[in-house]
Amino acid sequence: MERRVEVLADQAALVNRALALILERVTTAIAQRGVFTIALAGGSTPKPLYEAIAQQNLAWDKIHVFWGDERYVPPDHPDSNEGMARQAWLNNVPIPVENLHPMPTDAADPIVAAERYEQQLQAFFHLAPGEFPVLDVVLLGIGDDGHTASLFPHTEALQVRDRLVTVGNKGGQPRITLTVPLINKARCILFLVTGANKQHALRQIFAPVGDEMQYPARLIQPAGELWWLLDAAAGEGIAV
Residues 76-105 that bind ligand 6PG (CB under 6 A): 81
Q: Measured from the CB atom, is 17 or 62 closer to ligand 6PG? A: 17
The CB-of-185 to ligand 6PG minimum distance in angstroms stands at 18
Specify the residue, 171 or 208, whose C-beta has the smaller distance to ligand 6PG.
171
Nearer to ligand 6PG, 45 or 105 (CB): 45
Question: Residue 145 Cβ, how far from ligand 6PG at the closest point, in Å?
Answer: 9
What is the DSSP pairing of strand 137-140 with strand 165-170?
Answer: unpaired
Rule CB under 6 A: say whether 48 interacts with ligand 6PG. Answer: no
Near ligand 6PG in 144-183, by CB under 6 A: 147-150
Determine the interface stretch with ligand 6PG among 22-30, 143-151, 179-187, 199-207 (rule: CB under 6 A).
143-151
Q: Which residues contact 19 (CB under 8 A, 6 or more apart)?
A: 49, 52, 53, 56
List contacts with ligand 6PG (CB under 6 A).
Answer: 41-45, 69, 71, 81, 141-143, 147-150
